[in-house]
Amino acid sequence: MMAEQDYYELLGVSRGADLHTIKAAYRKMAKECHPDKHNGCSEKEAHFKAISEAYDCLRDPQKRAAYDRFGKAAFQNGAGGAQDPFGAAGFEGFSDIFSSIFGEFMDRNGGGRVNPARGADLRYDLELSLEEAFAGKEATVTVDALSACETCGGRGCTATENCARTCGTCGGMGKVRAQQGFFVVERGCPTCRGSGEVIADPCRACEGEGRTINKRKLTVKIPAGVDEGTRIRVAGEGEAGVRNAPNGDLYIFVHMKRHPVYAREGTTLIADCPVTFTTAALGGTITLPGLDGAKVEMKVPAGAQSGEQLRQRGAGMSVLNGRGRGDLVARIIVETPTRMSSKQKKLLEEFRSTETGDECPAAKGFFGRVRDMLGG
């Protein structure tokens, strides 16, 4: 029954409506009842086909004139020379309006020419010492990448004029369409690679691409404070694009070498510092090398325990893209001697004979609880 409705009534326009009004009415209704928006509802699909048939007729002056005079009878049994609106010729017109309505989902360029292929981004892994990351540096990196062809200047051809001609596959649009039912799928043209042009006299050095593989050396500034996994973007230093299309970018990923003294947590430097049990008991001083070349002296308090941390503010790592420095932490590890002279053993025996148990309150408290659990 839907197919028997008047075309003007289907689109909700008057018989004297101009093409702009008809087109606007169809766009609005097509968006509202497109099958993809209604999970393949058969009723919506039938309505969508009906309004598409109506639009295809009324947008064509000859078909519209025939319809106004004879109605749908003008298109039956070959009358009026009209074609099935969903035949080969009719669907081409439909695909154009479909693209104008739903093109935003297929091509952000609004149906214009596809830009020539931009160069690929490159990755470079750079290993730094902790001192280099602390101070920052200018690093020289070498990359093997596609660069603009020196022979043709990146144009891809040897001629100075009329270098390129319009691609015959895509007609200069840089993309081709494939129709699948109601859908129109667009992709980059395989012949011209999206540029819309074909090189008439290709450069022999680059075979018309306008780029060749070369070894390049770059000097890159590494800021102070970088850490493992820091990514530095160098704009425009990636691979060259096809025939002077924009270059890609170079991304430098930082990796840190193991340091002989320090571990790192953000901007904090941590050193595990073994001290003798006499230093831990009586107190003393430890000296650590600062990354800026200065010595960092830290006092060990008398009675220091393993795991105790000594902190020196502002002696740690540089702050990336900021000011100041983090902290330096010395983590005390009390070391028990494994080899002693007879004199040292005698002195320790004398010391043990004088112990009352109050010298080590943690041990006294722990073993007191153990005795209570053992019932004695």
Domains observed in the chain:
2-105 (1.10.287.110), 122-256 (2.10.230.10), 263-338 (2.60.260.20)
- Most confident by average pLDDT, 12-21, 39-48, 134-143: 134-143
* Higher per-residue confidence, 327 vs 184: 327
Nearest partner of 12 among 49, 65, 54, 61, judged by Cα = 54
What torsion, rounded to 10 degrees, do the Cα atoms 67, 72, 78, 83 define? 70
Model confidence band, residue 179 (pLDDT cutoffs 50, 70, 90): low
Confidence of residue 162 (pLDDT cuts 50, 70, 90): low
What confidence score (pLDDT) does residue 376 get? 64
State the Cα–Cα distance between residues 191 and 194, nearest whole angstrom.
8
pLDDT at 346: 95
**pLDDT at 318 exceeding the cut of 80:** yes
3-state secondary structure of 372: helix
Indicate the annotated binding residues for Zn(2+): 149, 152, 167, 170, 189, 192, 203, 206
Taking the model in full, what pTM does it have?
0.60
Tokens at 331, concatenated: 């983590």
What is the model's pLDDT at position 85? 42
Q: Which residues are annotated as a binding site?
A: 149, 152, 167, 170, 189, 192, 203, 206
Q: And the tokens for 101?
A: 């309505």
